[in-house]
Amino acid sequence: MNNSDNSNRHMISILMENEAGALSRVANLFSARGYNIESLTVAPTDDPTLSRLTLVTSGNEQIIEQIVKQLNKLIDVVKLIDLSETDSIERELMLVKTKAVGEQRAEMMRLSEIFGGHILDVTESTYTIELTGPGGKLDNFLNAVEKDAILEVVRSGATGIARGQKALHV
Amino acid sequence: MEPITGAEILVRCLQEEGVDCMFGYPGGAVLHIYDALYAQEKIKHVLVRHEQAAVHAAEGYARASGKTGVVLVTSGPGVTNAVTGIADAYMDSIPLVIFSGQVPTALIGNDAFQEVDAVGITRPCVKHNFLVRDIKNLAETVKKAFYIASTGRPGPVLIDLPKDITIGKAEFHYPKKIKLRSYNPTIKGHAGQIRKAVDLVMSAKKPMIYTGGGVILSDGSTELVELTQLLGYPITHTLMGLGAYPATDKQFIGMLGMHGTYEANMAMHHCDVLIAIGARFDDRVTGKIEKFCPEAKIVHIDIDPSSISKNVQVDIPIVGSVPNVLRAMISVIRDEKLKPDTKALEHWWRQIDEWRAIKSLSYRQSDEVIKPQYVIEKLYQVTEGKAIITSDVGQHQMWAAQYYHFDRPRQWINSGGLGTMGFGLPAAMGAKLAFPDQDVACVTGDGSIQMMLQELSTMKQYYTPVKIVNLNNGYLGMVRQWQEFFYQKRYSMTYMEALPNFVMLAEAYGHVGMRIEKPGDVEGALREAFAMKDRTVFLDFITDQSENVFPMIPSGGGQNEMLLAERDEMVSTHEEGMVLV
Ligand SMILES: Cc1cc2nc3c(=O)[nH]c(=O)nc-3n(C[C@H](O)[C@H](O)[C@H](O)COP(=O)(O)OP(=O)(O)OC[C@H]3O[C@@H](n4cnc5c(N)ncnc54)[C@H](O)[C@@H]3O)c2cc1C
Ligand SMILES: Cc1ncc(C[n+]2csc(CCOP(=O)(O)OP(=O)(O)O)c2C)c(N)n1
Ligand SMILES: [Mg+2]
């Protein structure tokens, strides 16, 4: 999906029963009904009977409305929120392995600092950098680094939470 | 309390649920369950001849009775054979609980003998499914399954039972009530929305009531009849909704959609307020979406929010169950003594009567060859409009829907959403088991009947005397019709050159067979067959091979673009229409 076109990008956060098969029900729904899915993250919550699943999708208003309705229809889905509809915080974790030789070492360190990254691992010729932020910021980092210097990129997919007093819980 | 085996727990659960009849087929993984069934008499188990038939029979039973249908199949091929039926029940929202055997827990994932991932295979076509991993959860899971299958928008629920679960022991406690934090269907409509809907409905000058399977599923017919008569508005049904409002009443203007009546589709196209009740705006109903009800403001009552504004954006959505919402609307209208605009209504009815006068269901009778429509008309007369009619899929299905006038809900049982050939015969068996004292007829075709023919054997064993009305046109007629219209008569693979002798087949299975070739013999044969109360009779009507179903909205057309029999030249549909089915 095109990240610059944020108008139809939606981040939907779901509380669901922490049961075998719940994740596949969500994934199945998206493939069966032909909905876009850009990223998906899932993990148990503080309440071990519940998992929290966050997915990023896109579509016009009508499609998003159907996605939300279809998700709600799944028996395992307890509650959900479209974070794009409220003031919310989005975060994604990225691990990047870059080349770091000669002048590149200082340059890479400087870039990492600018983006608030941490260098987690250092060898003679590489750095492994950790960055968090909204997806757009991570994209910007990758754009700022010379293409050839990137050896490997791992992104967790976006996750998020509403700002203020609003909380998604049962 | 003494611990009992999982198989015994299962049987006790079914008894607690009041199950009196179930359909199934045994195999290694469910042997313990069959052993537990053997030891009791409360539940009648019907041994079908193919698992798909078990599901269709349970569907017929459920649709006729309103109860939840129950199916038991073994692991592996037992489950895969059942999948078509499960998908059928899912599309038509039929409440079923299906139990499938599974290899022992310890072997799951090992490609063990007759192992398939039943939960995975059925996931896209069930309302929900479960794999029981601990015998302690068994009873509660069964309770949940029945609750989920029968409430909200009904549907099939599958429980996969590893064999060790059926052998292990536990104490039996059946929960009285169940509450699921993640499942809570909305029954009562929102008062504000109901208010708005009533205002819009009362302001209509050219109103139209369009209802579907949701009215039947929710037993909302009484409320629907009351509201419709209170308003005096015209009403149409989808294929799945027939019988909710008496077809013989003058306010009923026929089925709508691809093969609906001219008046129903024209009234849809020209109405200014559309009241959609328990219907899902299927593409066989709407025709081309852009041309659908261009002038109408739409109220939509449905228990499933995802049915609302899925295909057509509506103006006033009401999430709730049909009887509840209609009762609330009736109260508002009565309490406030609201009256429809009678002047405008008179005008509207005059217009509708003009459309009606076109007689879109007329057909040319023949003395030589049996017209399929004529057979259904006679079937209607001979059974005095009272029989339960099941149907297979094809032209015969449309003729049954058009020419048998259903006056009560749950009288018409067919496969609409999936359109499963083979549905009719096992469904008739299921309906007959639910209502042994009622006449049940299965309207079928030479193609469809051969998909589940083996059930004639089951019907012999369990004594379910139904009348099979085979409209034998020697073709996969519905497909042939499309080839005639849209593929320049290239009849690719639609001629059944080697049809069996159905009379002999029926007799081979111990039933009565009759072959009828002359129009003059149709009524007599039907009378003779229905007089044989205790026999299954296979009536093989040799019908006009070239007859087509009219009227018809070709795929991609609008509701005002109907083709009428012998009046319109059939033309290829629009390019975009050709991709539709
Ligand atoms: C050969 C062939 C030709 C066909 N031609 C036509 C045709 O000409 N015309 C036609 O109409 N169909 C036709 N169909 C059938 C069509 O494919 C659809 O199955 C049918 O139109 C759907 O009917 P429905 O809208 O009533 O929905 P159903 O599938 O019956 O759905 C029921 C709706 O009611 C809702 N509901 C369930 N319970 C409740 C409740 N308690 N309260 C409120 N709402 C509830 C559900 O959520 C759902 O939205 C044809 C099928 C075949 C196989
Ligand atoms: C299982 C299945 N396979 C294929 C189809 C496609 N199909 C729809 S109607 C039809 C022909 C049905 O023939 P028949 O039962 O003889 O009925 P007729 O149309 O001739 O009345 C076919 C093949 C289907 N609906 N179901
Ligand atoms: Mg045929």
3-state secondary structure B49-78: CCHHHHHHHHHHHHHHHCCCEEEEECCCHH
Residue of A24, A29, A73, A169 best to disrupt the B interface, most CBs of B under 10 A: A73
Domain ranges of chain A: 9-86, 89-159
**pLDDT score recorded for residue B557:** 86
Q: Is residue B363 part of a domain?
A: no
- Cβ atoms within 10 Å, residue B315: 15
Please list all protein residues whose beta carbon sits less than 5 angstroms from ligand 3, which is an ion. B 445-447, 473, 475, 477
Q: How does the average pLDDT of chain A come out, rounded?
A: 94
Nearest Cα neighbor of B322 from B410, B199, B241, B214 is B214
For residues B349 and B347, give the distance between their C-alpha atoms in angstroms, rounded to a whole number.
Answer: 6
* B531 contact partners, CB below 8 Å, separation of at least 6: none
Which DSSP helix (H) or strand (E) runs through B335? helix B322-335
Same domain for B308 and B449, yes or no, is no
Per DSSP, the residues of B62-131 read HHHHSSPEEEEE-STHHHHHHHHHHHHHHHTT--EEEEEEE--GGGTTS--TT---HHHHHGGGSSEEEE
With a cut of 50, which residues of chain B have pLDDT below it?
571-572
Nearest Cα neighbor of B23 from B57, B49, B62 is B57
For residues B18 and B97, give the distance between their C-alpha atoms in angstroms, rounded to a whole number.
Answer: 13
Whichever domain contains B439, its CATH number is 3.40.50.970
First and final CA of chain B: distance in angstroms? 57
The answer for B488, left when phi > 0, alpha when psi is -120 to 50, beta otherwise, is left
Beta bridge mates, B21: B44
pLDDT band at A4 (very low <50, low <70, confident <90, very high): very low
**pLDDT score recorded for residue A6:** 53
3-state secondary structure B129-167: EEECCCHHHHHHHHHHHHHHHHCCCCCEEEEEEEHHHHH
Assess whether the C-beta atom of B257 lies below 6 angstroms from ligand 1: yes
A28 to chain B: closest CA residue: B124
* Token representation of residue B280: 């899902």
Same domain for B54 and B83, yes or no, is yes
Chain A interface with B: residues with Cβ < 8 Å:
16-17, 20-21, 24-25, 28, 32, 62, 65-66, 69-70, 72-73, 75-78, 170
Nearest CA to CA, how far is B309 from chain A (Å)? 8
Same domain for B74 and B15, yes or no, is yes
Q: Tokens 């590149």 identify what position?
A: A104
Same domain for B25 and B129, yes or no, is yes
Same domain for B384 and B524, yes or no, is yes
* Token representation of residue B433: 């088991």
Q: Which residues of B163-199 are buried (b: 16+ CB within 10 A; e: fewer)?
A: bbbbebebebeeeeeeeeebbeeebebbeebbeebbe
B488 Cα: distance to centroid of ligand 2 (angstroms)? 19
User: Would you identify the CATH topology of the domain A89-159?
Assistant: Alpha-Beta Plaits (3.30.70)
Beta-strand relationship, B44-47 and B21-24: parallel
Range of the domain at B415: 372-542
CB pairs under 8 A between A and B: 38
Nearest Cα neighbor of A163 from A109, A88, A106 is A88
* B490 contact partners, CB below 8 Å, separation of at least 6: B483
* Token representation of residue B352: 């509708």
**pLDDT score recorded for residue B572:** 46
Beta-strand relationship, B128-131 and B156-162: parallel
CA torsion angle B423 B426 B431 B435 (round to 10)? 170
Q: Out of A24, A70, A78, name the one closest to residue B181 (CB).
A: A78
Tell me: pLDDT of A2 over 50.
no
Catalytic positions of B are 51, 113-114, 163, 478
* Contact of B30 with B57, CB cutoff 8 Å: no
* Contact of B383 with B531, CB cutoff 8 Å: no
Would you say the C-alpha torsion B28, B32, B35, B40 has a positive or negative sign?
Answer: negative
* Contact of B75 with B116, CB cutoff 8 Å: yes
Domains in chain B, number: 3
Same domain for B107 and B255, yes or no, is no
For residues B385 and B404, give the distance between their C-alpha atoms in angstroms, rounded to a whole number.
Answer: 7
**pLDDT score recorded for residue B569:** 56
**pLDDT score recorded for residue B574:** 57
* Contact of B447 with B397, CB cutoff 8 Å: no
pLDDT digits (tens, 9 = 90+) for A49-67: 999 999 999 999 999 999 9
At B554, the amino acid letter reads P
pLDDT digits (tens, 9 = 90+) for A135-159: 999 999 999 999 999 999 999 999 9
Of the bound ligands, which one is closest to the alpha carbon of residue B478? 2
Chain A interface includes B120 (CB < 8 A): yes
* Token representation of residue A38: 């850009």
For residues B232 and B251, give the distance between their C-alpha atoms in angstroms, rounded to a whole number.
Answer: 7
pLDDT digits (tens, 9 = 90+) for B498-525: 899 999 999 999 999 999 999 999 999 9
User: Would you identify the CATH topology of the domain A9-86?
Assistant: Alpha-Beta Plaits (3.30.70)
Whichever domain contains B221, its CATH number is 3.40.50.1220
Residue of B289, B306, B312 best to disrupt the A interface, most CBs of A under 10 A: B306
- Cβ atoms within 10 Å, residue B375: 27
Same domain for B340 and B390, yes or no, is no
At B103, the amino acid letter reads V
pLDDT digits (tens, 9 = 90+) for A81-94: 999 999 999 999 99
Contact B123 A70 (CB under 8 A): no
Same domain for B376 and B523, yes or no, is yes
Q: Is residue B576 part of a domain?
A: no
* Contact of B219 with B323, CB cutoff 8 Å: yes
Assess whether the C-beta atom of B445 lies below 6 angstroms from ligand 2: yes
Same domain for B253 and B147, yes or no, is no
Assess whether the C-beta atom of B417 lies below 6 angstroms from ligand 1: yes
Burial category of B32 from C-beta neighbours within 10 Å (exposed 0-12, middle 13-18, buried 19 and up): buried
Same domain for B534 and B392, yes or no, is yes
Same domain for B514 and B434, yes or no, is yes
The answer for A87, left when phi > 0, alpha when psi is -120 to 50, beta otherwise, is beta
* Contact of B101 with B29, CB cutoff 8 Å: yes
Same domain for B63 and B108, yes or no, is yes
* Contact of B406 with B243, CB cutoff 8 Å: yes
B88 Cα: distance to centroid of ligand 3 (angstroms)? 21
Contact A16 B182 (CB under 8 A): yes
Q: Is residue B219 part of a domain?
A: yes
